Amino acid sequence: MITDMTTTARRATFRVDAIPAVELDRIRAAGVDHFGNPLEPRVVRQAGGTPLRCCLREADAGERVVLIAYRPSEVGGPYAEVGPVFVHAEHCDGYAETGRYPQGFRHRQQLLRAYDARGRQVENVIVDGVRAEYAITDLLGRPDVAFVHSRNVLAGCYMFAITRDRS
């Protein structure tokens, strides 16, 4: 359950992580994703609708992207899903504002899927981008939650990882 802003403000902050740029550079250099799928760049025809997991915004018309298979969880087990994600076809510096919910996703509803330290789901919450920080803070305030994944609310595709900020 989402708490009010006073309770939320007292809790620990969080960190948002896109797919690491160095990992994506290795995939681009290899020409295949980690599951052997060849990279097939394409040009985005229309803005809005191709969420990029490298820099956490939607692609603009004319940008080159690739669709790769990606497994976001370092923790194995039955919930360690592999799924399709769009990234820039060429090098991208990534997402720099790791202490903030991505502005480029504010207009999207998201499924926040919370996992325990063994990688098992413990909670699923659907939120809009406006209230996302409150839900994230509440989830990470639970002792049984180790990390959270943001996912597309309809297709279930991975968007980004969220952890407690240890800095």
pLDDT in tens, 64-117: 999 999 999 888 788 889 999 999 999 999 999 999 999 999 999 999 999 999
pTM over 0.85: yes
Domain that holds residue 102: 5-164
Classified as helix, coil or strand, 115 is: strand
Using CA atoms, how far residue 161 sits from 41, 63, 72, 102, in Å, is: 25, 24, 8, 11
Domain count, the chain: 1
pLDDT of residue 10: 40
